[in-house]
């Protein structure tokens, strides 16, 4: 029967293909220049999220252009739990010598891989586990949120400011607190109303949360979510907002006042250069923890790079003044720029988390004259006074 022979032929073809694939070597040519370095990047989302992963990917591209000896490869949207096998592939099939994992959820798998491949180098973002061949890195926004808070405090007419956050984890709590500290410095009676959408990326939820805060009377908005949904929703109703993570000025040029922008290349360039130069090896990374702030240039305040404050709002901000104990009577506009300078100074002349700070249950959480250490910053659970709304995991409230 004709069908039968055809079928057999097809089956044979398939078999040949399979055998051929196993038997032959891959076509790809290994470019071996003097000394090349191949780095693998594991992303938890797509570079198209225009948020977290996008920022890492932009940094990756900068590294590749900057370093002629560097080859990079990235894997996007890796579900948590699957990073281990992706790392296996990157190392076994792609020959990567350095692996970057860019999400907290990959921590355990990265550590496991570090133990499994002691000759390779690993760096994990936003985690706290390290090994001789595994470093950690993080760029934090708390100072930037503080600056945004100063602006928000001056712009609000209702005295209520909205902050839509992702997860109630110390990182986001820290940012909300810093924001509130800034707000209250300019406007001691203002409130920061908070909401949690329990997702890093959920534009619909962010939009709904924004609308819910608008209904509560908020008129200025900050957020931690990987999309411009909040900016667009707020703009729809005519309210200003602060862009998050990637430059969001273009989404609402009349309404984005400022924001937080990240420059991961500050880390990647430094780390990769040190690995290439042999300064970082697979033995000495146990205590390498990058905690990058304004002074390193890893984070930036602004609606887009170079625009600290949207010029449309300049006048409004100059019109509001604050009485500062050290600086005297100063407009919010100037205060903002001054604080930026102070925090960008290598010795960090100013820090928003310098005591005395009281949480919203009137507990003294930071004593007068002291600052929070990095480990204390990464473990914040309390809410500063002025914050209104649900705060899961608040100490002393159960």
Partner 1 sequence: MRMLKIEKKTYTSTKSILFGSLVALLMGFGIASLIFWAYGVNLLYAYQKILKGSFGSSFAVSETIRRAIPLLLCGVGLSLAFRASFWNIGAEGQILAGAIAATWVALFSGIPEPLLIPAMFFFGFLAGVVWGFIPTFLKSKWQVNEIITTLMLNFIAASIVLYLIHGPWRGEEKRGFAYTNTFPQVAWLKMIGTTRVPWLTLILGLVAATLVYILVWKTTWGYEIRVIGENPDAGRFAGMSHFKVVLLVMFISGGLAGIAGVGEIAGIHHLLRNPEHISLGYGFTAIIVAWLARSNPLAVILTSLFFGAMFSGGDTIKVSLGIPFQAIYAINGIILSLLIASIVFTDYKISIRR
Partner 2 sequence: MNWQSWLIGIFRSMGYGTPLLIATLGEIYSERSGVLNLGVEGVIAFGAFVGFAITFQTSNPWLGLMSAGLAGGLISLIHAFLSITLRANQVISGLALTMIGTGLAGLFGRGWEGTPLPFLARRILLTQNNFIFFTLILALLLWFFLFKTRVGISIRATGENPAAADASGINVWRIRYWCVFVGGVLAGIAGGYVSIIYRPAWTEGTTGGMGWLVIALTIFSFWNPIWAILGAYFFSAIFHLSFRLQAWIAPELLKSSPYILTIITLFFIGILKLKIKKAPAALTQPYERGE
Q: Which residues bind partner 1 (CB under 8 A)?
A: 3-4, 6-7, 10-11, 14, 17-18, 20-22, 24, 26-28, 46, 73, 75-77, 79-82, 84-86, 88-90, 92-94, 104-105, 108, 128, 167-170, 173, 198, 378-379, 381, 392-393
Straight-line distance from the first to the last Cα atom of the chain, in angstroms, rounded to the nearest whole number: 77
Does 255 bind partner 2 (CB under 8 A)? Our answer is yes
**Residues numbered 325-364 forming contacts with partner 2, rule: CB under 8 A:** none
Identify the residue among 64, 82, 131, 216 touching partner 2 (CB under 8 A): 216
Q: Cα-Cα-Cα-Cα dihedral of 202, 204, 378, 337, to 10°?
A: 120
Q: Is 67 or 201 the residue whose CB approaches partner 2 more closely?
A: 201
Length of the chain, in residues: 398
Token pair of 104 as six digits: 């907290």
92 binds, among partner 1, partner 2, none (CB under 5 to 8 A by kind): partner 1
Tokens for 60, please give them. Answer: 């990756």
Q: Are 137 and 152 in contact (CB under 8 A)?
A: no
- Minimum CB distance to partner 1, residue 271 (Å): 22
Question: Which of partner 2, partner 1, none does 251 bind, CB closer than 5 to 8 A by kind?
Answer: partner 2
The entry of partner 1, partner 2, none near residue 278 (CB within 5 to 8 angstroms by kind) is none
- In contact, 254 and 235? CB cutoff 8 Å: yes
Task: Give the one entry of partner 1, partner 2, none that residue 365 binds, where binding means its C-beta sits below a cut-off of 5 to 8 angstroms depending on kind.
Answer: none
Asked if 141 interacts with partner 2 (CB under 8 A), we say no
Q: Environment class of residue 105 by beta-carbon count within 10 Å: exposed (0-12), middle (13-18) or buried (19+)?
A: middle
Size of site (CB under 8 A) for partner 2: 41
Nearer to partner 1, 94 or 345 (CB): 94
CB of residue 184 to partner 2, shortest distance in Å: 22
Q: Which is nearer to partner 1, 22 or 34 (CB)?
A: 22
Region of 20-28, 129-137, 193-201, 263-271 interacting with partner 2 (CB under 8 A): 193-201
Judge contact between 230 and 223, C-beta under 8 A. yes
How many of the other CB atoms lie within 10 Å of CB of 185? Answer: 18
SS3 255: coil
> Judged by CB under 8 A, does residue 203 bind partner 2?
yes
Rule CB under 8 A: choose which of 101, 110, 246, 258 binds partner 2. Answer: 246
Give the CA distances from residue 369 to residues 99, 330, 355, in Å, rounded to whole numbers and listed in that order.
41, 23, 5
Report the 10 Å Cβ neighbour count for 104: 17
Q: Binding partner of residue 217 among partner 1, partner 2, none, CB under 5 to 8 Å per kind? A: partner 2
| Residue 344 CA to its chain's centroid (Å) | 19
Rounded least distance, CB 303 to partner 2, Å: 14
Residue 211 contacts partner 2 per CB under 8 A: yes
- 111 or 248: CB nearest partner 2: 248
The token pair at 344 is: 């960008």
Nearest distance in Å: CB 394, partner 2: 11
Would you say 195 and 165 are in contact if contact means Cβ atoms under 8 Å apart?
A: yes
* Gap between the Cα atoms of 108 and 131, Å rounded: 12
Computed on alpha carbons and rounded to an integer, the radius of gyration of the chain in Å comes to: 24
Indicate which single residue of 60, 175, 195, 244 sits in contact with partner 2 (rule: CB under 8 A): 195
Please give the structure tokens belonging to residue 374: 């990095």
Per-residue CA distances from 185 to 145, 148, 240, 266, 336 (Å)? 13, 12, 19, 31, 11
- 122 or 251: whose CB is closer to partner 1? 122
- Site for partner 2, rule CB under 8 A: 45-50, 54, 195-198, 201, 203-205, 207-209, 211-212, 214-217, 227-229, 232-233, 235-238, 246, 250-252, 254-255, 389-390
């Amino acid at each position: 029967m004709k069908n039968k022979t055809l079928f057999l032929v097809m089956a044979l073809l398939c078999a040949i293909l399979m055998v051929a694939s196993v038997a032959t070597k891959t076509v790809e040519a290994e470019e071996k220049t003097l000394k090349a370095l191949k780095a693998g990047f594991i992303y938890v989302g797509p570079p198209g999220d225009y948020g977290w992963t996008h920022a890492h990917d932009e940094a990756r591209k900068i590294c590749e252009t900057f370093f002629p000896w560097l080859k990079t490869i990235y894997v996007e949207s890796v579900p948590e739990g699957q990073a281990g096998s992706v790392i296996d592939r990157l190392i076994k099939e792609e020959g990567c010598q350095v692996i970057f994992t860019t999400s907290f959820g990959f921590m355990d798998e990265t550590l496991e891989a570090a133990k499994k491949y002691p000759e390779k180098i690993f760096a994990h973002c936003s985690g706290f586990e390290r090994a001789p061949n595994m470093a950690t890195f993080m760029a934090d926004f708390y100072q930037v949120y503080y600056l945004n808070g100063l602006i928000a405090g001056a712009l609000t007419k209702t005295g209520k400011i909205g902050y839509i956050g992702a997860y109630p984890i110390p990182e986001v709590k820290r940012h909300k607190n810093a924001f509130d500290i800034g707000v209250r410095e300019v406007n001691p009676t203002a409130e920061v109303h908070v909401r949690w959408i329990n997702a890093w990326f959920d534009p619909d939820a962010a939009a709904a949360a924004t609308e819910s805060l608008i209904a509560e009377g908020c008129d200025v908005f900050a957020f931690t979510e990987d999309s411009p949904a909040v900016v667009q929703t707020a703009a729809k109703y005519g309210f200003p907002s602060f862009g998050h993570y990637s430059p969001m000025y273009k989404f609402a040029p009349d309404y984005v006042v400022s924001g937080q922008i990240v420059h991961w290349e500050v880390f990647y360039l430094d780390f990769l250069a040190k690995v290439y130069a042999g300064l970082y090896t697979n033995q000495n990374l146990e205590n390498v923890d990058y905690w990058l702030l304004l002074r390193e240039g890893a984070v930036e305040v602004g609606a887009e790079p170079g625009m600290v404050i949207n010029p449309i709002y300049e006048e409004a901000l100059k019109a509001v003044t604050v009485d500062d104990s050290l600086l005297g009577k100063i407009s919010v506009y100037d205060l903002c720029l001054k604080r930026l300078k102070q925090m960008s100074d290598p010795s960090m002349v100013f820090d928003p988390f310098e005591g005395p700070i009281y949480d919203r249950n009137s507990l003294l959480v930071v004593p007068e004259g002291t600052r929070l250490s990095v480990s204390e910053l990464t473990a914040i659970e309390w809410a500063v006074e002025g914050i209104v709304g649900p705060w899961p995991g608040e100490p002393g409230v159960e």
